[in-house]
Chain A
Amino acid sequence: MIAIDELLLRVAGLERGDLLRWVENRWVLPERRGGAWLFHEVDVARVELIVEIRRDFAVDDEMLPLVLGLLDQVYSLRRQLRRLCESIERQPPDIRDAIRRSLPPVHDQSV
């Protein structure tokens, strides 16, 4: 967990004004504690991601919510899928086999 000044030092090319706007737009969700913001690891990584996609892909503030929204959906799906996989992994072998057998085929001719 780091404060805003440390974050600005850590992430090259990060401007304070940009960061404040991102937080205001809820693209980054630092923890609010005692009138100050605390950036968790995931928030720092997300700030780095935003800096990167703005610089490398020339994504502007209008496109950014769309890009972040799609990424959030992908990661949300991946988290849910991981939960499901972890749950299946914890099942006894016969139940895992039954699940494997009941998986619909990927290539469905009828579709």
Chain B
Amino acid sequence: MASETPYQVLGVKPDASADDIRKAYRKLAKQLHPDLNPGKPAAEARFKAVSAAYDLLSDPEKRTRYDRGEIDESGMEKPRYSYRPHAEGTQGWKYRPEGEMDVGDLEDLFAMFGGGGRRGQAGRAGEGLRMQGGDRQFTLSIDFIEAANGGRKRLALSPEESLDVTIPPGIENGQVLRLKGKGSPGFGGGPAGDALIEVHVAPHPFFRRDGDNIHMELPVSLSEAVLGARVSVPTITGPVTMSIPKGSDTGAQLRLRGKGIHRTRGGNASEGDQYVTLKVVIGDSKDPELTQFLEEWAPKHSSDPRRGMDS
């Protein structure tokens, strides 16, 4: 805080009479008057301060208000009550009325009126406001296989709390699971809210879903395609052996019955299939034996793979 009080500026006591104040002012004004002190800025500043102090103290009303702390030494209005912002701030909790419960839950707020919110019932003992707790939202990321087969997954809600989530087989990306009663607790005996868990399913490098069916592209060698073969094929439940018929071509689709997503919907069990689309890959096309074979090979029934593309 600043400086001198107007009393100190004039060099008088706070209980000085109006007469004393006038005398003190005249004496100082004579010493400090700018006309008597040309080129002395310190004296001029002092003269201004003395004039302001006298201006305040020579006015009985202003002097009284200054003494009461209502205005400051420059005559500016001082804020009358400065307690409110403190009392209403977080520090103010210290001065809450005795017996008032700790700040915390919404329940404290309801308890201020004896629980019930309805007019005329306020304060009735034991009649608390029953209110369902809020829902809590979470996200859970799972991989493609987990989504397809379902299972249990542990979801960490917080460092201290986790939830075991049962994932139904065939859950779709973005689907929301509702776990009843796993949300925020209720008030006044009301039920807890629900946990809403949005499931994010990561894509798979080679499986793709179409409803309950699984699609994939299976690379096969030229000889497997031409001569047929039994090959191992991945499925969502592990590899199975599949027969590639003799003379298969790229784009040929084979079905593995029952190897898609199994689920129970409304009491009806259903199972999808896996569709395998073949893709013939030549592999090392610089293989000299293959090159030589093809050079010597003169097909009896030559066919044009671009037939129908003439324009």
Which A residues lie at the B interface, using CB under 8 A?
Answer: 10, 12, 29, 40-42, 45-46, 48-49, 52, 55-56, 69, 71-73, 75-80, 82-84, 87, 104, 108, 111
Contacts and interface: CB of A to CB of B under 8 A. Distances in A.
Given A41-B91, A42-B91, A84-B109, A73 B97 contact: yes
Between A42, A82, A104, A108, the greatest number of chain B beta carbons within 10 A of the residue's beta carbon is seen for A42
Contact of B93 (A12, A49, A77, A79): A79
A1 B99 CA distance: 27
A12 to B, nearest CB: 7
Interface stretch (B76-84, B125-133, B215-223): B76-84
B23 interface: no
Given A56-B68, A79-B88, A84-B109, A49 B81 contact: yes
Given A46-B83, A75-B88, A108-B119, A29 B95 contact: yes
Contacts of A111: 119
Nearest to B84: A75
Contacts of A104: 119
Contacts of B81: 49, 52
Between A10, A41, A108, the greatest number of chain B beta carbons within 10 A of the residue's beta carbon is seen for A41
Given A45-B82, A69-B97, A78 B109 contact: no
A49 B69 CA distance: 12
B30 interface: no
Contacts of B68: 55-56
B92 A42 contact: yes
Given A42-B89, A45-B86, A48-B83, 19 more contacts: A29-B95, A41-B91, A42-B94, A42-B95, A45-B82, A49-B81, A49-B82, A49-B83, A52-B69, A56-B68, A71-B83, A73-B97, A75-B88, A78-B87, A78-B88, A79-B88, A84-B109, A87-B106, A108-B119
Contacts of A76: 92, 96-97, 100
Contacts of B87: 42, 45-46, 71-72, 75, 78-79
B68 to A, nearest CB: 7
B16 interface: no
26 contacts: A29-B94, A40-B91, A45-B82, A45-B86, A45-B87, A46-B86, A46-B87, A56-B68, A69-B97, A72-B87, A72-B96, A72-B97, A75-B84, A75-B95, A76-B92, A76-B96, A76-B100, A78-B88, A79-B88, A79-B93, A80-B108, A80-B112, A82-B88, A83-B103, A84-B109, A111-B119
A69 B100 CA distance: 12
A111 B83 CA distance: 36
Nearest to B119: A104
Contacts of B69: 12, 52
Contact of A45 (B83, B93, B103): B83
Nearest to B91: A42
A108 B119 CA distance: 10
A41 B86 contact: yes
A45 B88 CA distance: 12
